[in-house]
Amino acid sequence: MLIIDFLIIMMMTIGLICTLAPRLCGTVIILVAATIYAMITGIDHVPLWIIQILLLLSFIAECMARGLRVFLTKDYKVSRIYSVNTTVCNLAGITVAQVGLGPFLGVIVWELMIGKAFLPRMRDISKVLVRLFLVAALRYICGLVMIMIIIQYMMKNL
């Protein structure tokens, strides 16, 4: 029984991590883990309000958060994908330049050559990234609350 509990908690943890990625349905993974646990352990009666809360949190995280992400970032000159990719590539480029040229010279060379494409749009990019972070935080919190409810009410024998 302890192995089953461990595997289900591991599956829910993977679901929680997936809530941070916009294209992965982490809360659905958490719901599937709870369903598998209920089927394996033979839980006969799960209160209806627990099921309703879990479904509501999953709906908020998966459907409403996707719409919120689009709504919050639609009026900017830069796209969501451009904002994330530009930031990641800029940080990776700085790191590689620092490894090759040293910490001081690497940053200077990178910013003189490549950073000038990043800096003019930095204000818009940072606003988009903050909004994307807030939506990811909402999804993560929904997943975390789901796991706490599942552990509290379904996995009492831990």
Report the C-alpha gap between 151 and 158 in whole angstroms.
8
Total domains, the chain: 1
2, 55, 25, 16: which is closest to 144 by C-alpha? Answer: 16
Q: Does some domain include residue 158?
A: no
Task: List the domain range (segments joined by +) for residue 7.
Answer: 2-153
Q: Does some domain include residue 32?
A: yes
Q: Does some domain include residue 20?
A: yes
Q: Write down the mean pLDDT value for the chain.
A: 80
Q: Does some domain include residue 105?
A: yes
The Cβ-side half-sphere exposure at 106, using a 13 Å CA radius, reads: 14
Which amino acid is residue 105, in one-letter code? Answer: L
116 exposure class (CB count in 10 Å sphere: 0-12, 13-18, 19+): exposed
DSSP single-letter state for residue 155 = -
Q: Does some domain include residue 58?
A: yes
pLDDT confidence of residue 136: 87
Share above pLDDT 70 across residues of the chain, in percent, rounded to a whole number: 82
DSSP single-letter state for residue 77 = S
Region of poorest pLDDT, from 31-35, 71-75, 105-109, 116-120: 116-120
Total-model pTM: 0.74
As a dihedral over the C-alpha atoms of residue 126, residue 131, residue 133, residue 135, rounded to 10 degrees, the angle is -170
DSSP single-letter state for residue 43 = -
Q: Does some domain include residue 7?
A: yes
Q: What is the mean pLDDT of residues 114-126?
A: 69
SS3 of 12-55? HHHHHHHCCCCCCCHHHHHHHHHHHHHHHHCCCCCCHHHHHHHH
Q: Does some domain include residue 115?
A: yes
Q: Does some domain include residue 148?
A: yes
